[in-house]
Amino acid sequence: MAQKQMKVVIINGVQIQVYALKVLAAELHRCPETLRRWEFTKFIPKPIFKTMDGFRWYTQEEVNMYKRLYAEEADNLRNGKKFSNTKFSERLFCETALLKKQMLGEIAAEAALKQPKG
């Protein structure tokens, strides 16, 4: 069965639009298998959202972050530096941790606002 490229998930009553791994791969001009291998070897972090059946889903913020960091390393790659010798992975882990903390905090705050007062 083909996986949709985008869907809306609801976490604690908050709707979040997420994108399939193949969307992120296309944005980075890589194949999905490369990103799976990078995740397996811990070159990139696991996505913030991963379903129980193992599908990886990325928020728009994650996609934008990957694209930005990838683009910032493009000069190093053009100058012959190996991708594994750049700061891409290290920066991605740091920024993903911050984004996850921020997103989960926002979800909790929104969910709290939706709770009936009593």
- What kind and span of H or E run contains 10? strand 6-11
- Amino acid letter for position 104: L
For residues 59 and 101, the answer to whether their CB atoms sit within 8 Å is: no
Predicted confidence at residue 1, as pLDDT, reads: 40
Residue with tokens 């991605």: 92
Kindly tell me if the per-residue pLDDT of 118 is higher than 70.
Answer: no
Q: Nearest CA to 59 among 71, 46, 48? A: 48
**65-117 pLDDT tens trace:** 999 999 998 877 777 778 788 899 999 999 999 999 998 888 888 877 777 76
For the segment 14-22, the average pLDDT, to the nearest whole number, is 92
Per the model's pLDDT, the better-predicted residue between 14 and 115 turns out to be 14
What's the pTM? 0.85
CATH code for the domain defined by 6-114: 1.10.1660.10
**33-48 pLDDT tens trace:** 999 999 999 999 999 9
